[in-house]
Amino acid sequence: MRFLASPRRRRRLAWVALTVGIVGAFIGVIALVPSHGPSKQVRVAPKAPVLGGTPTVPLTFEQETPAAKRARERAEATVHPLANAFVGDLLRRRRLGAAYALLAPSLRSHYSLADWQQGRDLPLSANATATPGSSVAFSGPTTVGLVASIASSSVGSDSTLFAIRFEKTHGRWLVDYLRGGRASSRIDETNFSPPGFLPGSHRETLWTWLILVGGLLGLILVAALISRGLRGPALG
């Protein structure tokens, strides 16, 4: 082909192919990296109005049957007091062993029981004056996500937001997600949604970024080798 007879055009074509490959790789990784979304028939609570807007309509991922609704409401009734007690124990540094027992295996690998029992390396700072309470962000028969708003013990400081998700595993409700954040004029317990918390959202991990960076470097290396090959042998 006359078009490919020019080395410059071949090199340009190689770099165009590289660009398309990078975009495709990023899309593929985002699609393939598993997300931690709740189980089916999960109902998400409506968001608070923002800047004069109106609350969103509660979202149901599947048509909710009366039986599913009853199961979801039973899950909320069971988990809500568990979540409040869990948050209260962390804030007041009491019954920490019992709180640790509520952690799912995926979280226990990140925290030491000895540290918890001594009040070290906890996901919440001590605050004996705060009143524990939480709002349901989403719920289903086997999953419930809640957000607690904890007033700061320092005057003038923003309150702390604490997202916590319970999953029913082998008949037990266990905590498999914890993430804290700061409230602001636009973020409160009704719309706090850290990565991986809400249904269908992704939780970025070190492996996710390593896959992305490794894929990008690999594509650049391949393109460089292709470009070098298209230049032809160097003249001696």
Q: What is the pLDDT of residues 187-206, one digit of tens each?
A: 988 889 899 998 766 555 55
Spatial strand order in the sheet of 59-60: 59-60, 43-44, 135-140, 143-150, 160-169, 172-182
Q: What is the pTM of this model?
A: 0.66
For residue 139, which phi and psi values (nearest 5 degrees)? -155, 155
d(CA 221, CA 216): 9
**Number of Cβ atoms within 10 Å of the Cβ of 106:** 13
Residue boundaries of the structural domains of the chain: 3-32+208-231, 43-201
Distance CA 135, CA 161 (A): 11
Report the C-alpha gap between 106 and 35 in whole angstroms. 15
Q: Could you read off the pLDDT tens digit of each residue along the chain, which spans 236 residues?
A: 554 556 666 666 666 666 666 665 555 555 444 444 444 568 876 655 444 444 444 444 457 789 989 999 999 999 999 999 999 999 999 999 999 999 999 999 999 999 999 988 899 999 888 887 899 999 999 999 999 999 876 655 678 999 999 999 999 999 999 999 999 888 988 889 899 998 766 555 555 545 555 666 666 665 555 555 555 554 44
Distance CA 211, CA 219 (A): 12
- Count helices and strands (H / E) in the chain: 6, 6
Domain 43-201 has CATH 3.30.70: no
Distances (CA, A) of 216 to 174, 213, 224: 38, 5, 12
CA distances from 47 to 162, 194, 217 (A): 16, 14, 40
Q: 164: which 2 tokens?
A: 């916590």
pLDDT at residue 51 in the model: 44
Give dist(CA 78, CA 202) in Å, integer. 27
pLDDT, residue 91, reads 94
